[in-house]
Amino acid sequence: MHAEEKFTYETWPAAPEKSTLEAKNKFLGFWFFLGGETVLFASLFATYLALKDKVPNTNMPLAKDLFELPLTFVATMLLLTSSLTSVYAMYHMKNFAFSKMMVWLGITALLGAGFLGLEVYEFSHYVHEGHKFTSSAFGSAFYTLVGFHGGHVAFGLLWCITLMLRNAKRGLNLYNAPKFYVFSLYWHFIDVVWVFIFTVVYLMGMVG
């Protein structure tokens, strides 16, 4: 099986994400990258935990003054649902249903964009309350951690849209199927990081 071969529903392999050597390498390399990302985010979490609520004077807002449950909840639901929609996209990829896969990828991108919009609104709201990147160690640690995750979401959005545009008229083959699969792994990993952010930053922040 070579990458440019034309497939039908009948000839499509069971594991298209690992059917060529390039695909196998991509799969392995991407998981190695995710291991590195785990360390990166863990050290940002460590920094945040060490510097949480470390502000220079008592006028500055602390975690429990800033965070609000409803906004975090809506953002969490958006991102969690987008993780499921990318699972649906990969389900259709495995069944060689190109247009269905594209629809679900589109929904995934929309949900991701919604999440990002909420985060922009949230950050601007915090800045008005005096919680800025340079105002305290707490601010720096918070915006670095949450902003880095938001940056990953923004990158994922660009990635998803680029993949969809680039392959819009190409259909599924063994050249692009691993690309879609690796994107879905990335998107799930973003959700994994968010689960810890909403727990450690927002929920633990509100507990005190």
Partner 1 sequence: MANPQLNSGNPRVDIEYRRRKNAEEMRYQVVSFALMIFLTLIAFAAVAIKGFTSWFTVPFIILLAVVQVIFQLYYFMHMSHKGHEAPSLFLYSGVLVGAIAILAFSTIIWW
What residues make contact with partner 1 under the rule CB under 8 A?
9-10, 13-15, 18-19, 27-28, 31-32, 34-39, 41-43, 45-47, 49-51, 69, 73, 76-77, 80, 83-84, 87-88, 91, 94-95, 185, 188-189, 191-192, 195-196, 198-200, 203-204, 206-208
CA dihedral 32, 197, 132, 205 (to 10 degrees): -150
User: Percentages helix, strand, coil for the chain, rounded to the nearest 5?
Assistant: 75, 0, 25
Amino acid occupying residue 1: M
Closest approach of partner 1 to the CB of residue 119, in Å: 18
Closest approach of partner 1 to the CB of residue 33, in Å: 9
Task: Using the minimum distance from each CB to partner 1, give the nearer residue, 36 or 171.
Answer: 36
Task: Using the minimum distance from each CB to partner 1, give the nearer residue, 76 or 176.
Answer: 76
Q: Three-state secondary structure along 81-127?
A: HHHHHHHHHHHHHHCCCHHHHHHHHHHHHHHHHHHHHHHHHHHHHHH
Amino acid occupying residue 207: V
Task: Using the minimum distance from each CB to partner 1, give the nearer residue, 180 or 189.
Answer: 189
Q: Positive or negative, the Cα torsion across 94, 96, 100, 103?
A: positive
Task: Using the minimum distance from each CB to partner 1, give the nearer residue, 126 or 202.
Answer: 202
Closest approach of partner 1 to the CB of residue 16, in Å: 10
Task: Using the minimum distance from each CB to partner 1, give the nearer residue, 85 or 176.
Answer: 85
Closest approach of partner 1 to the CB of residue 128, in Å: 24
Closest approach of partner 1 to the CB of residue 38, in Å: 3
CB 108 within 8 A of CB 82: yes
Task: Using the minimum distance from each CB to partner 1, give the nearer residue, 68 or 129.
Answer: 68
Closest approach of partner 1 to the CB of residue 169, in Å: 25
